């Protein structure tokens, strides 16, 4: 099976929009959108964020990506993404395909990532595949403004031609770039060895200036309506229940966790569901639980939990109190041995010794 790696370049020294890669974009860091889309695609054996900035590194790890500290010579204003990806591939070897994904691509969609890889696999003579879209106006009728504040067409012969009679032109959308690892491209990136993956213009927006940022937020909010409104409607229905489902300690329950904020874990699907382990039962209506994630996360604040021959990560810092009305159904019951290990790790995290505090 062909192995694939995603490389997300994320330098810390953005000038026009300070801390752009981790600036909150409609509720979560901008880079989180790229990481989560890569995860949802299921295409990658490894997802790596290449950065020179520790704050970006912390955010990347929090969202489940691996971090590669890039050298200083690859962290200036003149370093191209190709060099960053090349460096990552010198560290992580054994991959047939690599995909460079920009950290500033909240409109990136799984279907186009998949299409890019499929096209590259089917066309053996191609080296690259990347997202493109059409210009919204024929470039052949464009003109410059001279120093004398007059107009000067680039192609005067097109002045009397109708827009629909001029050839459609495309440009790079700045979202993703698939490549065959180890194959030399004897042409430029926008050349004969590259496959264009066509993306509609409404899913394309550069984010280089504060004005771009505002426009992108407006576009995103229009395309993907705020989940908080839907969650608030669902909360009212949940609260109207007469009672919740019976449960016990060690149970793994699918509950409506909700649409939470920032780094907080949220539920999935129409009912915002996520599995939660019952650590402590306070009453028939209230319990203290730890959310689980199918994404395997490493580090001091996570703990691997095994049940039904599957491994999940317990998100220890996301533990809190839940009402039984949130319970949709019981998924499984954790074994006594697994439960004891989980409780032990949880106590260690919430009451660390002076030697363990803040360690990883």
* Same-domain status, 195 and 290: no
- pLDDT tens, 266-279? 888 888 899 999 99
Range of the domain at 17: 4-223
* Same-domain status, 95 and 175: yes
- Total number of domains constituting the chain: 2
* Same-domain status, 66 and 94: yes
pLDDT surpassing 70 at residue 73? yes
340 token code pair: 């004891």
pLDDT surpassing 70 at residue 10? yes
* Same-domain status, 159 and 303: no
- CATH code, domain carrying 62: 3.90.550.10
- pLDDT tens, 106-130? 999 999 999 999 999 999 999 999 9
Which has the minimum average pLDDT: 66-75, 123-132, 254-263, 287-296? 254-263
* Same-domain status, 124 and 198: yes
């Amino acid at each position: 099976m062909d192995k694939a790696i995603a490389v997300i370049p994320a330098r810390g020294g953005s000038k026009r929009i300070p801390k752009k890669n981790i600036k909150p974009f409609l509720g979560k860091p901008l880079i989180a959108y790229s990481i989560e889309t890569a995860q949802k695609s299921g295409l990658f054996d490894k997802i790596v964020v290449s950065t020179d900035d520790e704050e970006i590194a912390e955010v990347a790890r929090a969202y489940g990506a691996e971090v590669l500290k890039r050298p200083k010579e690859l962290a200036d204003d003149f370093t191209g993404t190709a060099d960053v990806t090349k460096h990552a591939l010198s560290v992580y070897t054994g991959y047939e395909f690599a995909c460079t994904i920009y950290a500033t691509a909240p409109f990136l969609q799984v279907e186009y990532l998949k299409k890019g890889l499929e096209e590259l696999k089917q066309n053996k003579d191609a080296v690259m595949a990347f997202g493109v879209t059409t210009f919204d106006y024929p470039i052949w009728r464009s003109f410059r403004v001279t120093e004398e504040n007059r107009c000067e067409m680039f192609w005067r012969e097109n002045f009397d031609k109708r827009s629909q009679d001029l050839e459609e032109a495309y440009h790079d959308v700045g979202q993703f770039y698939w490549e065959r690892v180890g194959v030399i491209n004897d042409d430029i990136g926008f050349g004969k060895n590259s496959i264009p993956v066509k993306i509609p213009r409404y899913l394309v927006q550069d984010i280089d200036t504060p004005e771009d940022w505002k426009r992108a937020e407006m576009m995103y909010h229009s395309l993907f309506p705020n989940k908080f409104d839907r969650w608030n409607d669902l909360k009212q229905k949940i609260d109207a229940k007469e009672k919740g489902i019976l449960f016990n300690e060690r149970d793994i329950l699918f509950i409506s966790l909700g649409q939470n904020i920032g780094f907080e874990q949220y539920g999935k699907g129409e009912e915002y569901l996520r599995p939660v382990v019952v650590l402590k039962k306070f009453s028939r209506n209230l319990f203290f639980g730890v959310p689980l994630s199918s994404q395997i996360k490493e580090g001091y604040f996570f703990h691997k939990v095994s049940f039904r021959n599957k491994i999940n990560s317990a998100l220890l810092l996301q533990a809190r109190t839940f009402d039984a009305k949130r319970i949709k159904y019981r998924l499984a019951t954790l074994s006594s041995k697994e439960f004891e290990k989980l409780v032990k790790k949880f106590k260690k995290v919430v009451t660390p010794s002076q030697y363990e505090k803040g360690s990883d």
